[in-house]
Amino acid sequence: MSRFWSDIVHRLKPYVPGEQPVHTNPVKLNTNENPYPPSPRVLDAIRHELGETADTLRRYPDPTALRLRETVARYHGIHAGQVFVGNGSDEVLAHVFQALLKHEHPILFPDITYSFYPTYARLYDVEYRTIALDEAFAVRLDGYAAPNGGVLFPNPNAPTGRALPLTEIERLLERKTESVVVVDEAYVDFGAESAVGLIDRYPNLLVVHTASKARSLAGMRVGFAFGDATLIDALNRVKDSFNSYPLDRLAQAAAIAAYEDDAWFRDSCRKVIASRERLSAGLTALGFEVVPSAANFVFARHEGHDAAALATRLREKAIFVRHFNAPRIDQHLRISVGTDAECDALLDALRDVIGGQVG
Ligand X SMILES: *Cc1c(COP(=O)(O)O)cnc(C)c1O
151 DSSP 8-state letter: E
Task: Map residues 17-36 to x or -, x wherever contact with ligand X holds by CB under 6 A.
Answer: ---------------x----
State the minimum distance, in angstroms, from the CB of residue 4 to ligand X. Answer: 29
Residue among 291, 285, 295 nearest 329 (CA): 291
- Give yes or no for residue 226 binding ligand X (CB under 6 A): no
Measured N-to-C along each axis, helices 262-285 and 249-260 cross at an angle, to the nearest 10 degrees, of: 80
Alpha helices in the chain (DSSP H): 7-11, 40-50, 66-76, 89-100, 116-123, 166-175, 229-239, 249-260, 262-285, 307-316, 340-354
Binding span for ligand X by CB under 6 A among 55-63, 88-96, 97-105, 282-290: 88-96
- The answer to whether 85 and 91 have CB atoms below 8 angstroms apart is no
Rounded CA-CA distance 336/271 in Å is 13
Is position 89 an interface residue for ligand X (rule: CB under 6 A)? Answer: yes
Among 82, 98, 119, 212, binds ligand X (CB under 6 A): 212
Please say which residue, 186 or 329, places its beta carbon nearer to ligand X.
186
- Looking at residue 203, what DSSP letter applies? T
Site for ligand X in 108-127 (CB under 6 A): 114
Q: According to the binding rule CB under 6 A, does residue 338 interact with ligand X?
A: no
Nearest CB to ligand X, comparing residues 34 and 39: 34
Distance separating alpha carbons of residues 160 and 156, to the nearest angstrom: 8
Binding of residue 154 to ligand X (CB under 6 A): yes
Q: 161 Cβ partners below 8 Å, 6+ apart?
A: 187, 291, 292, 293, 294, 295, 297, 298, 299
Binding mask 171-190 for ligand X (x = CB under 6 A): -------------x-x----
Among residues 218, 238, 286, 308, the one that binds ligand X under rule CB under 6 A: 218
Which of 88, 110, 161, 282 is close enough to bind ligand X by CB under 6 A? Answer: 88
- CA 243, CA 4: separation in Å to the nearest integer? 24
Q: Rounded to whole angstroms, how far apart are CA atoms 242 and 179?
A: 24
Helix, strand or coil for residue 202? coil
156 binds ligand X (CB under 6 A): no
Does the footprint of ligand X cover residue 149 (CB under 6 A)? no
223 binds ligand X (CB under 6 A): yes
- Minimal distance in Å, beta carbon 304 to ligand X? 29
**Footprint of ligand X on this chain (CB under 6 A)?**
32, 88-90, 114, 154, 158, 184, 186, 210, 212, 218, 223
